[in-house]
Structure 1
Amino acid sequence: MKRLLVLLVVLAGISACGYDDTVVPRPDDAATTSTSPPTTTPCDNDGTQLRSYAPDSGPVGGDAVQAIKARGRLVAGVAADALLLGARNPARNRIEGFDIDMVYAIAGEIFGETDRAALDRANRVELKVITAAQRIPFLQDGTVDIVARNFTVTCTRWQDIAFSEVYYQAGQKLLVGLDSGIDGVDDLADERICAPAGTTTVDNLADVAPDATIVTAPNISACMILFQNGDADGVSSDDTVLAGLAAQDPYAEVLDTAPLSKEPYGIGVGQDNVDLVRLVNQVLEDMRRDGRWRASYDTWLKPELKVSGVQPEPVYGR
């Protein structure tokens, strides 16, 4: 059984390393970006980092949005190995999850179509599978328009890119083996805990468990392989990600402890593309009002997390 589970995770990791879903890319038109630089706001991770740009009261869409329309598709950086958030469904041969629903809602606003099947038929969405470490560089060089990949909003990251309002409040937890003897952070001394490189998880672990041995891997699938092979004693990530892993491995459990940290998810956008951020925030406001956010949460996250979800209230002021 364990060998089968390892094989399944390996396959997920393979797809995560080089799979661009949904469309065959067409030549891009010359992209333009908003010429007005974003205003700066003091930020110290006490809540001010959650401030984003308020939706426009007038027509939505400036240079960045118009460039996407001219190209004919939205390019989104996503995960393909995070069950519940963004993972390949082999039966449907497509990537699905809570984060993916956010991407299609944004594309629907840009192209005037809310149905995923219609967007796919028109090749309006390109899901580009990326690693956590590629999120910021790919936004900076224009490889992707947005990133919807369990992306925690921080002040440090605001220096390099922009974020939407928070669309989900996650928390960092620990996945360990059944009967491992690990009941919480106090038991992590000399234990090998894996976390994906380029994530806030690594920094948080170093702060709360300085005596643990932190092992990094390119993605969460690789961490799970190390864990299942006995090369790591546990895995740390957001509760949403770990819930998906535990659902696939009967020998693992997510510790029912207080989160090690708060992980507010935002949609990542290029720093100068403020008009696109405003559009994304309008989409999230609409999803709150019409129930699409709750429907997506109830489909993907509620069955495993076992709690009712509440969409975070927006915080504006940039």
Structure 2
Amino acid sequence: MVRPHPERRPRFTRLLGSLGLGAVLIAGCGAPDAPTPRFSGDFTEFPLSAGAQLIAPSDTPPQDTETSACAAPASLRPGTPSLGGALGDIRARGTVVVAVDQNTNLFSFRDPTTGTLTGFGVDLAREVARDLLGDPTKVEFRPLGTDDGAEMLAHRDADMVVRPVALSCEGPQDLTFSTVYLEASRRLVVRDGSGIAGPADLARRRVCTHHDPASVSALTRIAPKATILAVPDWDDCLMAIQQRQVDAVAGAAFLAGLVAQDPNLEIVGPETDSARYAIGLAPGNDDLVRFVNGTLERLRTDGTWTALYDRWLSSLGPAPGPPAPEYRD
């Protein structure tokens, strides 16, 4: 008797298996998958960042008024700290609550290695905590959106706002300010080999800047024939110039953070007018304003201001010295 091979199935079994496979294939062919949708567009341009606005050149000649000609905002003279009020609340809490922009390189940003907030503005806030609470680490930083922080101050969600936005000639009525802690010339950041040497080369080009009134007004004045891309965050300008959505970035102090992130960028152009920066506080907290101004006065005189500038903003040029304070009392 011949035994069948153990690995060999009967012929009719193989036939049924083949028929079954064919049935499956036939059934599959009867219900084809829906075709992959086809996308429109050629993807040659990246979309603009959220909140960005394009401002076309105006047919009206800009006013021949420089921001630097505006009177420097005067603040309250440093005085003896009180035991109550805003200062008393901060002492009782044990921390200074500071609203900051967390994505402006070298001014207020998260260190990619440590994950901690650092930068020129962050160090200013720590110096206030040093004087008020005896410890520069007793600061609670809270993220600041694209607004000026007035609502956070009004709801007592922050004691002060430190953000890299220049003061305008007409400051907002819902904020009060410290003395000016930084004054920087407005210049341009361009790609190497761009052929742009100054504002005169910006005609019929697109230029990025922050959407705050002071920055837009200054750019409209120095480059009236340029198209402006106004963005809510300074780092949006870095992305825009890297993706070639703009030909240049116009600004002041924050330009140091842009060139530090991309070796293919450079700062060019003559110094035009100046942008000024101050700490924002809630109206009515005069005791806190005077205390902050006292800290800023110390930084000017003991060399701390120059040390902070050299650490964070040296790519803008040699430290010019701290701006002189202007007091109204």
- TM-score, normalization by structure 2: 0.74
Q: Distance in 1 between matches of 2:107 and 2:78?
A: 25
Between Structure 1 and Structure 2, the one with more helix by share is 1
Q: What is aligned with 1:312?
A: 323
> How far 1:192 moved relative to its partner?
1.0
Q: Distance in 2 between matches of 1:77 and 1:173?
A: 27
Alignment of 1:300 onto 2:312: yes
Q: Distance in 2 between matches of 1:59 and 1:252?
A: 46
Q: Distance in 2 between matches of 1:294 and 1:89?
A: 22
Report the 3-state secondary structure (helix = DSSP H, G, I; strand = E; otherwise coil) of the residue aligned with 2:195. Answer: coil
Alignment of 1:88 onto 2:110: yes
Q: What is aligned with 1:144?
A: 158
Report the 3-state secondary structure (helix = DSSP H, G, I; strand = E; otherwise coil) of the residue aligned with 1:214. Answer: strand
What is the letter of the counterpart of residue 215 of structure 1? L
Q: What is aligned with 1:159?
A: 173
Q: What is aligned with 1:291?
A: 303
Identity %: 34
Q: Distance in 2 between matches of 1:101 and 1:48?
A: 27
Q: Distance in 1 between matches of 2:186 and 2:143?
A: 23
Decide whether the 8 Å contact of 2:208 with 2:250 is kept in 1: yes
Q: Distance in 2 between matches of 1:218 and 1:50?
A: 24
> How far 1:97 moved relative to its partner?
1.2
Decide whether the 8 Å contact of 1:76 with 1:128 is kept in 2: yes
Query: Given the alignment, which residue of 206, 211, 214 partners 2:225?
Result: 211
Q: Distance in 2 between matches of 1:232 and 1:46?
A: 29
Q: Distance in 1 between matches of 2:90 and 2:119?
A: 23
Decide whether the 8 Å contact of 2:206 with 2:248 is kept in 1: yes
- In the superposition, relative to structure 1, how do residues 255 and 76 fare at CA in structure 2: closer, same or farther (>3 Å)? same
Q: Distance in 2 between matches of 1:275 and 1:163?
A: 12
> How far 1:83 moved relative to its partner?
2.1
What is the letter of the counterpart of residue 289 of structure 2? V
Q: Deviations over 1:167-222 (max 9, x none)?
A: 11112211111222222111212211111222521121122222211112220111
Unaligned runs of 5+ in 2: 1-48, 50-66
Query: Given the alignment, which residue of 268, 276, 282 partners 2:294?
Result: 282
Q: Deviations over 1:280-311 (max 9, x none)?
A: 01111122232222221222222x22313301
Q: What is aligned with 2:259?
A: 246
Decide whether the 8 Å contact of 1:132 with 1:199 is kept in 2: no
What is the letter of the counterpart of residue 143 of structure 1? D
Query: Given the alignment, which residue of 187, 196, 203 partners 1:189?
Result: 203
- In the superposition, relative to structure 1, how do residues 135 and 199 fare at CA in structure 2: closer, same or farther (>3 Å)? farther
Decide whether the 8 Å contact of 1:60 with 1:279 is kept in 2: no
Decide whether the 8 Å contact of 2:209 with 2:231 is kept in 1: yes
- Larger mean CA deviation between 272-281 and 167-176 belongs to 167-176
- In the superposition, relative to structure 1, how do residues 301 and 200 fare at CA in structure 2: closer, same or farther (>3 Å)? same
Query: Given the alignment, which residue of 273, 279, 298 partners 2:285?
Result: 273
What is the letter of the counterpart of residue 210 of structure 1? P
> How far 1:47 moved relative to its partner?
5.3
Query: Given the alignment, which residue of 76, 96, 109 partners 1:74?
Result: 96
> How far 1:100 moved relative to its partner?
1.0
Query: Given the alignment, which residue of 56, 70, 73 partners 1:50?
Result: 73
What is the letter of the counterpart of residue 315 of structure 1? E
Q: Deviations over 1:222-245 (max 9, x none)?
A: 12112111211211121x211221
Q: Deviations over 1:43-67 (max 9, x none)?
A: x9745443110011x3346411112
- In the superposition, relative to structure 1, how do residues 241 and 142 fare at CA in structure 2: closer, same or farther (>3 Å)? same
Alignment of 1:255 onto 2:277: no
Q: What is aligned with 1:37?
A: none
Q: Distance in 2 between matches of 1:176 and 1:213?
A: 15
Unaligned runs of 5+ in 1: 1-12, 14-43
